[in-house]
Structure 1
């Protein structure tokens, strides 16, 4: 569980990703999923650049109905991937929203065709369970990784590449688009981009990316740019070390930002063995040592340039609209907004302001809350108690 919570630490946090196994029809044990790859060829970004060889991983479960309108899209958080449900192997970890997705669960794969996708510029490039296209991918024109020459992509590009996948699968309309944090932002972007394609929207621990949040995102990424090993993104060559120190410091900021004070109480007045900060300035407190160790592990399983590109995609949330109000005016009609009251990333007052924008735009808005000691991360690991609210929302 601790590894799962750590991986979930981005604009929410992390895991892996994949698609359905017919053997699961027998219902014996958790759903086994297989990795699938969507490779449609070239993709033109919203900014006008061309990505010549788009490849994205995805997983799916359930059956698409004859009218193509029982599909649900699950979008992942900042440091996550498409492993939202099921297992990749019999003894492997469960997906990050497995508590609410699967046969007979609130997002019922016996009833719905559920798809989850690895985004562009996914940070989990070293993870074999992630398939993405981004700065660590090979540029076919040079035979070398793109680095910072990779085109800038926005949240809308995440939506457009997902739309290409859904079209290829025969999906005609989404019964629901949902996700936590960065996944919730994608859900909101979907609602604005394709209001007639989306019946329901469920953003969890997400609201608007305003200037205050853009500033926080800049703080998240700053240590990477300060690491001399970053070399303006040119660290993939032989004999060069990746900027692991800067990346670890970045994850440390994200990790603490995504947790609440109640979680940190376990480290009150604790000192690692042999440490005495009152006597030696270089010694560490318990919370500092935990953050150091956790962030160092996370840095080894992610890519620094991809982190920067993911930050920019979040900063470009709804960037094709003049305002949040304008974006929501013509957005999809039905919403279940799920905040965490102790969220330190998307503060509850910001979520309330977002809900007010939706209601003023005439949307049908329901709310539910996720609670617990983990603050922002409640929206990843504490979803089971709101399962019935989700089931009811889908039934309306």
Structure 2
């Protein structure tokens, strides 16, 4: 499938904390056609380091399709012959310098001042990501979503949708997700922020006219990627690794070959990323509590949608217990909720690469 990036603009956007952004821009992509009744829409919400590019190719030169191309398309579980599938770049997207990402955040210009926002940009939450998406839905005349589905940070948005707009969401699918950032998760997320904060070039967020905190961003992305992968996959990928590799054994200045390769791969992504955007993304995830109220239970009480939770058994980043907690609370409340674990060897990324093992589960859920 070919796909193009489109742009949507919201003016005078009010954040969850009550701050006003004079203008919010974000990119979005779509697959399939909206029917006359406008009731066949499925929103796909993306993960932390992702974008709205969930399926298809921009051009013949693209090496890889969107991350869920195996799920989205004619005859696939998210069937574009039947559904209108669409996805949006989040606010404060990780990669504001990626030409295929449109986002608003600290690296954007504040139209009121003509200067970059920097750390004057307000803290934004998962609820703000959802509110921006709702504005797009309203502009398209979509009153109800057949489903909202997303992996990892996308699962947070999907759950928030079901809480914030219960009458507009018929089905919610949480893939490798959670219902709230508990202390353990919050502390783990903070480890992603620390390398950027410790980089001298960060300069309290004021670096846009100087050298960016590239080394801090690189270390952050190396942490994220390492934690998202399973030991099994890393050991299988670097099967030639030996603890007594001559270089590192001979000099502390030498790195293992696998470390060199891993660093080089992460550096390519780091060049498209922004340190401040990453800090804001970390904070958006740290502040997540479905419903943004006093308790998770109170937020879940608002849900009317049928729910499906698909955590990954081998996930060490957002382990299944986090999704299971939400599923069990919904059942106690008398809500409709299903739970299945994704089996695979990717770890957290089983929610991206091994979700096809739950293709029939997804298909049945969307047809119920």
Instruction: Name the TM-score, length of structure 1 as normaliser.
Output: 0.88
Matched, 1:80 2:54: no
Q: Which residue of 2 aligns with 1:282?
A: 253
Unmatched 5+ stretches in structure 1? 1-30
Q: Which residue of 2 aligns with 1:373?
A: 345
Deviations 1:217-237 (A, max 9, x none): 111111000000011111111
1:159 aligns to what SS in structure 2?
helix
Kept in 2: contact 1:189–1:317 (CA 8 A): no
Cα distance change, pair 148–262 in 1 and its aligned pair in 2 (3 A)? same
Q: Which residue of 2 aligns with 1:229?
A: 201
1:99 aligns to what SS in structure 2?
coil
1:44 to 1, 14, 32: 14
Q: Which residue of 2 aligns with 1:206?
A: 177
RMSD (Å), alpha carbons: 1.8
Q: Distance in 1 between matches of 2:53 and 2:141?
A: 22
Kept in 2: contact 1:195–1:332 (CA 8 A): yes
Kept in 2: contact 1:264–1:287 (CA 8 A): no
Instruction: Name the TM-score, length of structure 2 as normaliser.
Output: 0.94
Q: Distance in 2 between matches of 1:273 and 1:293?
A: 22
Q: Which residue of 2 aligns with 1:329?
A: 301
1:189 aligns to what SS in structure 2?
helix
Q: Distance in 2 between matches of 1:119 and 1:272?
A: 41
Within 5 A, what are the aligned runs for 1:179-194?
179-194=150-165
1:270 to 233, 241, 248: 241
Kept in 2: contact 1:275–1:284 (CA 8 A): no
Within 5 A, what are the aligned runs for 1:242-321?
242-266=212-236, 267=238, 270=241, 275-318=246-289, 320-321=292-293
Deviations 1:203-230 (A, max 9, x none): 1000132121111111111100000001
2:344 aligns to what SS in structure 1?
coil
Q: Which residue of 1 aligns with 2:23?
A: 53
Moved more, 262-271 or 191-200: 262-271
TM superposition outliers: structure 1 runs of 4+ over 6 Å: none
Deviations 1:367-387 (A, max 9, x none): 233222210011112222211
Moved more, 101-110 or 217-226: 101-110
Deviations 1:300-326 (A, max 9, x none): 121111001111111121262111111
Q: Distance in 2 between matches of 1:194 and 1:264?
A: 40
Q: Which residue of 2 aligns with 1:25?
A: none
Within 5 A, what are the aligned runs for 1:92-241?
92=62, 93-208=64-179, 209-237=181-209, 240-241=210-211
TM-aligned CA deviation for residue 282 of structure 1: 2.6
1:276 aligns to what SS in structure 2?
helix
Q: Distance in 1 between matches of 2:336 and 2:76?
A: 24
Equivalent pairs, count: 364
1:64 to 5, 10, 34: 34
